[in-house]
Every structure is written in C-alpha cells, then in structure tokens.
Structure 1
Amino acid sequence: MSTHFLTIPGLASSGPNHWQTIWEEQYPDLFHRAEQVNWDWPVKDEWVPKLQETISRLTAPTILVAHSLGCITVAHWAQEFKSEFVKGALLVAPADADLSKRLNFVVGFKPVPVTRLPFKSIVVASTNDIYASIGRSEKFARDWGSEFINIGKKGHINAVSKLDDWHEGKEILQSLSGLNFSAIPVS
C-alpha cells in the first residue's frame, strides 16, 4: 500500500504560493489537507479534535506534513490520540507558542508538549525564523525524539521565503517516507 501525506498548515492555512499547497496540487492523489474550524483564530481544543477527525478517516500509511502552528497541533494530538496509519511526521518551522507575542489569539497551545512522539519525525528549522529561535526548534526536536535539520536562513519556511515547491523539503520528506518524488509525474 502506497504512502500518503496529510498536510497540516498553521495559522491562516497555507496560501497558493506555500510549498504545502504546491505539493498538494502537484500530487493530488498523495497529498490531502487537514481542515480546521477557523484558520484565523486557532484554538487548541478545536484544532486537535478536528485533526483527530481527519486522521480517524485514514485508510493507508500516512506521513503528517505540518508547518508552524500545525507542528504544535501534531504534538498536542500525539499526547491525546494515536493511529496505526500515522507512520511519521515532517515538522517544519514549529511556531514557539510558549514565547509567541500572538498569544492573545492563539488559544490553549501552550505549553508546547515535551512528550516524545510515537512515530519517526524530522523537525526542520531556519536560523532566522521570527516565530521560533533555532535553539527552541532544536529543543522541540529533542523533546519529541525527532531528527533535527537546520536549513540556514530561510525565514519561516513559508511562501514569504519564496521556496516555491521546495525541492530540499521534498528530499527531506523522501528520507522520511522512502518515496522518490522525482519518479512521480507532477499533475
């Protein structure tokens, strides 16, 4: 059975120029997006159950592909739930909910869980991410039992970073999933 991917965006979802959206458009049979109640007003007690609702419908081995607050959502989800279908997670630019200046509208995400994830995972971080220092990102990786990859100065690793379809990210995801994206025709 082929591996699938569930993208889990952060605050405001991922727009048309974000690598998550681009990957979903390139590989519509493999990538599907988790939806949320309100992308612009994140509430942990809404986001985590909504993610569980999506994960509970999985029928194939799946790698979670989270960005920003989506990474923190995955960490909270893993404390409450589990799924035999979740085989790993690519956690890109985890937002530091503990130190965020946006806490007035990011409800319930702190403290960031420090529990080891029950599946293989990779945290990818940038040295100039305004939403988490490289040190904090590395700490998240240690706490979660994740491999840690520092990709240098790439901002929040989002559309503003102008990564387009982010080839480096695909290579990292390939190392986690074993799927060779260059061998798959793009839609």
Structure 2
Amino acid sequence: MFAPTVLILPGWQNSGAAHWQSRWEALYGYTRVQQHDWMQPLRGDWMAQLEDAVLAAPTPVVLVAHSLGCMLTAAWAQHSQNTHKVQAAFLVAPGDPEREELRAALKSWWPVVMDKLPFAAELLGSQNDPYCTFARAQQFAAAWGAEFVDYGAAGHINADTGLGDWADGYARLQALIERTASSA
C-alpha cells in the first residue's frame, strides 16, 4: 500500500510559518500547492494550479485545505476530470467568500460551489470563526457531502488560535486517511 500524496491547500494570503499547515509541511514533507497570487486570488488560476499538482502526484491524493482552500477544493472538484485521483479531503475552517466584507476581495469565488464532492471529506467548523458562521460551515458540509465535525469555539483554526503543530488535527487527518485507504 502506497502512502498518499498529501497536498496542502492554504487559504487567502497563504499560511505563514506558524500555521499548522506550514508546520505539517515541514514536519511530514507534505506538498503545498503554490499559487501565483496569494493576495488577489483568482478561482480559475487556483484551480489550474491544483489540477497540475494532482496530475503530478505519484500516488492517490489527500487534500488538506484551510479557509479559501476549502472553496478551492469544491470548485476544482466540480470541473476536474481527475477527481478519481483524490482519496479524501480534510477541510478546515472554510472561509465564506460570499460574506459582505469579503465579497469585493474574493469576487471570483462566488457563488460558492455547492455540489457534492466525488470523494470522501471531513469538514471541521468552528463556532466562533470570524470568516464563516457555524451554520454556514454546516451548510457547506451538507452540500459537499462531508462529515461535519463541531470543533467548538476555535476561531479560524489557524496560527492565531495557537495550535502549534496541532496534534489533534493531525490525528484526525490520519484517521481519515486510514478510513478511506480502501477506496483509493
């Protein structure tokens, strides 16, 4: 059994050195999908970068998405002919680009894709995320067919939350990988 290729999908403005995604990349050798412009993200451009990364992966892919990376996962899955290469997606603290204060900066990201994902997914939502209401996170999970996890009052589940290496998140990811290994 081959280990999956884990692709890190940061959100808008990328994930800094203290973010759990960056820490996992350094600790476990995961691959960050690089974007041309982290500050003015264009959905089509980000989807093309993800498509290239999935095609380059030598083994089945597990997507580890945070914030706008969750929106990228849904948008890419709606259009790609290569979703069969994805074993699972770990979706953390989706950002909502349809929020009034985010619409101007993220206009290419709405409407949000609300189609069922063609692969297993788990979505962790926070009750006090400043970029997505708890109800909206639940709505995304339901639309995408993702298992929803109430992660309590954890903010945006990022470096500001003080998660460090986020051992609990890593354990959840490993459990998702094990649960979905037979379908890959």
TM-score by length of 1: 0.91
Given that 2:19 and 2:164 are in contact with CA atoms closer than 8 Å, whether structure 1 keeps it comes out as: yes
1:1-187 matches, cutoff 5 A: 1-28=2-29, 31-81=30-80, 82-178=82-178
Say whether the 8 Å CA contact 1:17–1:164 is kept in structure 2: yes
Q: What is the alpha-carbon distance in structure 2 between the residues aligned to residue 128 and residue 41 of structure 1?
A: 25
CA RMSD of superposed structures (Å): 1.2
Query: 2 CA distance for matches of 1:9 and 1:70?
Result: 5
Tell me the SS of whatever aligns to 1:112. coil
Q: CA deviation at 1:135?
A: 0.5
Q: Which runs of 4+ in 1 moved over 2 A?
A: 82-85
CA distance in 1, matches of 2:100, 2:115: 20
Q: Contact 2:41/2:106 (CA < 8 Å) preserved in 1? A: yes
Normalised TM-score (structure 2): 0.92
Q: Return the alpha-carbon distance in structure 2 between the equivalents of residues 163 and 44 of structure 1.
A: 28
SS of the equivalent of 1:89 reads: strand
8 Å CA contact retained: 1:42, 1:107? no
Residue by residue, what CA displacement relative to the aligned partner does 1:91-131 show, whole Å, maximum 9, x if unpaired? 00011112241222213111111100000000101111000
Which amino acid in the other structure matches residue 85 of structure 1?
A: K
**Any idea what SS the aligned residue of 1:5 has?**
strand
The alignment covers a number of residue pairs equal to 177
Native 8 Å contact 2:127 2:151 kept in 1:
yes
Structure 2 unpaired stretches of 5+: 180-184
Higher helix share: 2
Query: What's the CA shift string for 1:49-90, capped at 9, x where partnerless?
Result: 121121121120121000000100110000000333210000
Matched to 2:103, the amino acid is L
Name structure 1 gaps, 5 residues minimum. Answer: 180-187
